[in-house]
Amino acid sequence: MSRNFPDYHSFPDRDTGDESFWPSFTDIMMVITMVFLLVTVMAITNNWKLVTDLQKSIEAQRLAAEHALDTDAANSTLEDRMKLVEQRLAGAKLESANKQLVNEKLQAELDKVRENIADIERQLNASIELLQKRDVTISQREEQLANITADRDKQLTTLASRAAALAALQQTQVSSQQQVARLQEALQLKQGELQDARVLLKQSQVLVSEGDDSKIQLNQALQKLADTEKLLASTQDGQKRSEEALAASLDRQAKNDQQLQATLVSQKLSEQQLNAMRDELTALQESKQSEVENLASLQQEIARLNTLRNEDETKLLSMKGEFDSLDTKYQKLLRPARSSAGKVVVSVWFSKQGGRDIYKIREQANGEFRTLTRKEMATSLARLKDKHGKELYVKVIIPENSGLSYNDAWTFTTEMQRAYDYYYQDNEE
């Protein structure tokens, strides 16, 4: 025997001896196994039936829920839609007013920032002009200082040359004084000799009668006296000239002293003026440095205000974009409701049977539906959209027993209307 069942023929004592009233253990186990198998089959069958009933119940519940949703959507009245539109419109108006208020605040802040920038730019231009004027003044002062320094150097050179001339003149004066003293001494000597000659002349006149020798001596004395008088006259002339030269030298010395004093006074004034101009130049340079620092701070402030202005302009542009978007939505809310009046109505049918999608299309209101594939239906709708444009109204039909879930039906309806319906084409624009 196979499958591990016991072989009744392998027991030699089975058919010998007395017959046993009680069944064997093997028979009992076989009966128990058969009963277990029958119970298991019945339980599986019952569970399968319960699962099938449960699936049918769930499907029926889903269909009922979808039917209820479709019924609720179909029963929604125009008044409810108008209330919803009015609520959205009120919210849009409120949001638009808030956006407008924020926009005005940002515009006011931006105007203030621009005014501040304009004021700072004016101050900056004024500071630049003042700085340029001070640069010109500093240049002029430096030029004047250079001229005064050159004049002072020239005066110092002239003063040195005049001092040297004065020293030479003083030496000439000293030598002239010494020469005058020598001439005076010589004059005194000559005067003494002249006096002696005059005495001698008188003596000679007394003794004129004493002889020729005395006459000769007298003539010699007279000649000597004449020579002495000539020498005395020339000495007196030289002394007079020396005195005149000495007086002229003294006059020149006095004039040089006066010029030297005037030069010293002028030099002193020039040094005072030079020091004053140096102090003024230092003050101008310090003021220039202060103006440069102020200019740098103003430039930093302008950069900061430009950054703030750019940020405010960015915010303003963002707010304007949001406002435009909100205004677009607001205008869309004011549009009339979707209607087939005056439109070319195209009906689209979608259902599912036996797990297969079924698509139908009816291009005219009194025409018949044609069954086609999804691709063929898309081609037909595209052709009708190109032909009628914004006059095409797409009517989507989902039958009650369509076999579709609510999400599938909603997705298909949305895709068809957004792709081909006139209302959503306007929406896209």
- Please state the three-class secondary structure of the chain as a single string: CCCCCCCHHHCCCCCCCCCCCCCCHHHHHHHHHHHHHHHHHHHHHHHHHHHHHHHHHHHHHHHHHHHHHHHHHHHCCHHHHHHHHHHHHHHHHHHHHHHHHHHHHHHHHHHHHHHHHHHHHHHHHHHHHHHHHHHHHHHHHHHHHHHHHHHHHHHHHHHHHHHHHHHHHHHHHHHHHHHHHHHHHHHHHHHHHHHHHHHHHHHHHHCHHHCHHHHHHHHHHHHHHHHHHHHHHHHHHHHHHHHHHHHHHHHHHHHHHHHHHHHHHHHHHHHHHHHHHHHHHHHHHHHHHHHHHHHHHHHHHHHHHHHHHHHHHHHHHHHHHHHHHHHHHHHHHCCCCCCCCCCEEEEEEEEEECCEEEEEEECCCCCCCEEECHHHHHHHHHHHHHHHHHHEEEEEECCCCCCCCHHHHHHHHHHHHHHHCHHHHHHHC
For residues 76 and 271, which has the higher predicted lDDT (pLDDT)? 271
The pLDDT-based confidence of 241 (bands split at 50, 70, 90) is: confident
As a whole number, the mean pLDDT across the chain is 76
Over the stretch 106-116, which tens digit does the pLDDT of each residue have? 788 778 877 88
pLDDT above 60: residue 304: yes
Mean pLDDT of 201-228: 62
At 17 the pLDDT is 47
Over the stretch 340-379, which tens digit does the pLDDT of each residue have? 888 899 999 999 888 888 999 998 878 889 999 999 999 9
At 382 the pLDDT is 93
The pLDDT-based confidence of 39 (bands split at 50, 70, 90) is: very high
The pLDDT-based confidence of 90 (bands split at 50, 70, 90) is: confident
Report the percentage of the chain scoring pLDDT > 70.
72
The pLDDT-based confidence of 265 (bands split at 50, 70, 90) is: low
At 2 the pLDDT is 47
Using alpha carbons, select from 119, 78, 102 the residue that is nearest to residue 320: 102
CATH number of 117-299: 1.10.287.2610
At 255 the pLDDT is 76
At 405 the pLDDT is 85
pLDDT above 80: residue 51: yes
The pLDDT-based confidence of 380 (bands split at 50, 70, 90) is: very high
The model carries a pTM of 0.31
Most confident of the ranges 17-21, 146-150, 158-162, 259-263: 146-150
The pLDDT-based confidence of 204 (bands split at 50, 70, 90) is: low
At 264 the pLDDT is 66
Domain boundaries, the chain: 8-66, 117-299, 338-429
Choice among 38-42, 182-186, 217-221 with the minimum mean pLDDT: 217-221
At 103 the pLDDT is 75
Residues near 229 by Cβ (< 8 Å), separated by ≥ 6? 194
Give the gyration radius of the chain's Cα atoms.
71
At 64 the pLDDT is 73
For residues 319 and 44, which has the higher predicted lDDT (pLDDT)? 44
At 348 the pLDDT is 92
pLDDT above 60: residue 225: yes
Mean pLDDT of 158-171: 74
At 1 the pLDDT is 44
Report the percentage of the chain scoring pLDDT > 90.
12
pLDDT above 90: residue 200: no
